[in-house]
């Protein structure tokens, strides 16, 4: 019997192109090391449904693993094209991808299910003065901290707005504290990871270029905080409609954890947090990628969230 054929897509037209190349390469390496697949690698730009159908036909792909980050690759358009091409793929469907990519929408959904999230406004619709500094200026639909600015004065907010002109921006109340992240694979919560930057905040440089950022898996936390983070992360997973995998980010202060954003295709580089947490839970990178591909194959070209089978049992046994 021939092995299933997996097409790993990477690159894309978004600002996180280089991160996607690193993530996609690591995913393809892991799948090849696993040995259960015939893996092909594809650096893409902005393929439409017809291009994806051609790609699937040319490589004979049984499933696509789209390891792209950003508005096109992670935010719905690529997922829509894969759905139109009737191609099974790893990750959340187009509707959940759009909700997750839009930070303001995901924060609105968080409030509907009682998950605390810092106050925020859409800078294109509301005056900046409605939220007093210190604040964070963020593009609404970017990841990897692309374009994020910490602003302690109104002048800094205006400077950030000028520098980031042309993007949809939001202003969010700054929550100083500890940065925590919760990975989820097929509805099972992975160990919490705390990110400790050497200086400043966890920006693009700290995530991908610096080697002095510390990561603590299962960090010591005040009583009840870990349980709150896990509960809130699962609430976000469900209200957004995530599928296969996601990462939910929080800031922790004396009041408790505050939801910041959800990533429906989190990074898979050697600095990335979901593979790190999965490793602690007993899932190697090879196993993690294999269970994600297996679930997509079983699901086929449908909208079902599906299940991964053995991964849930393995994670539950290690609790």
Which residues are designated catalytic?
A: 16, 144, 208, 247, 249, 261, 263, 267
| Contact predicate 24/11, CB 8 Å | yes
Provide the pairing of β-strand 38-44 with 5-11: parallel
Can you tell me the distance from the alpha carbon of 111 to that of 127, in angstroms, rounded to the nearest whole number?
22
Can you tell me the distance from the alpha carbon of 301 to that of 278, in angstroms, rounded to the nearest whole number?
26
Tokens of 191: 């160990």
| Contact predicate 106/232, CB 8 Å | no
Helices 285-299 and 17-34: crossing angle in degrees, nearest 10, is 90
φ, ψ of residue 293 in degrees (nearest 5): -65, -40
> 313: exposed, middle or buried (C-beta count within 10 Å: 0-12, 13-18, 19+)?
exposed
| Contact predicate 178/303, CB 8 Å | no
Alpha helices in the chain (DSSP H): 17-34, 49-59, 77-84, 94-101, 103-112, 154-163, 204-208, 225-240, 273-280, 285-299, 310-317
Tokens of 223: 């009583």
Give the residues across from 185 on adjacent strands. 188, 245
Q: What is the largest CA-CA distance in the chain?
A: 65
Give CA separation, 31 vs 1, 25, 290, in Å: 18, 10, 6
DSSP 8-state secondary structure symbol assigned to residue 74: T
Give the residues across from 180 on adjacent strands. 194, 250
């Amino acid at each position: 019997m021939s092995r299933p054929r997996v097409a790993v897509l990477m690159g894309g037209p978004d600002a996180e192109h280089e991160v996607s190349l690193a993530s996609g390469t690591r995913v393809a390496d892991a799948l090849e090391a696993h040995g259960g697949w015939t893996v092909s690698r594809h650096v893409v730009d902005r393929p439409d449904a017809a291009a994806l159908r051609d790609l699937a036909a040319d490589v004979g792909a049984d499933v696509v693993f789209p390891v792209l980050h950003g508005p096109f690759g992670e935010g719905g358009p690529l997922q829509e094209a894969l759905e139109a091409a009737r191609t099974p793929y790893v990750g959340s469907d187009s509707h959940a991808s759009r909700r997750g990519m839009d930070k303001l929408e995901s924060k609105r959904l968080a409030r509907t299910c009682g998950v605390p999230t810092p106050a925020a406004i859409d800078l294109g619709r509301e005056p900046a003065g409605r939220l007093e500094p210190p604040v964070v200026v963020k593009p609404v639909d970017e990841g990897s901290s692309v374009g994020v600015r910490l602003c302690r004065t109104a002048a800094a907010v205006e400077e950030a707005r000028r520098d980031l002109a042309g993007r949809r921006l939001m202003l969010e109340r700054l929550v100083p504290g500890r940065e925590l992240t919760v990975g989820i694979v097929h509805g099972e919560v992975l160990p919490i990871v705390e990110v400790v930057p050497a200086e400043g905040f966890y920006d693009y440089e700290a995530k991908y270029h610096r080697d002095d950022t510390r990561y603590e898996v299962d960090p010591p936390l005040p009583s009840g905080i870990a349980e709150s983070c896990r509960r809130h992360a699962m609430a976000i997973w469900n209200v957004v409609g995530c599928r296969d995998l996601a990462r939910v980010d929080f800031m922790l202060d004396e009041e408790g954890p505050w939801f910041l954003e959800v990533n429906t295709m989190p990074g898979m580089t050697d600095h990335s947090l979901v593979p790190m947490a999965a490793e602690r839970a007993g899932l190697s990178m090879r196993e993690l990628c294999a269970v994600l591909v297996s679930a997509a194959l079983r699901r086929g070209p449908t909208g079902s969230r599906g299940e991964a089978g053995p991964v849930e049992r393995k994670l539950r046994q290690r609790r």
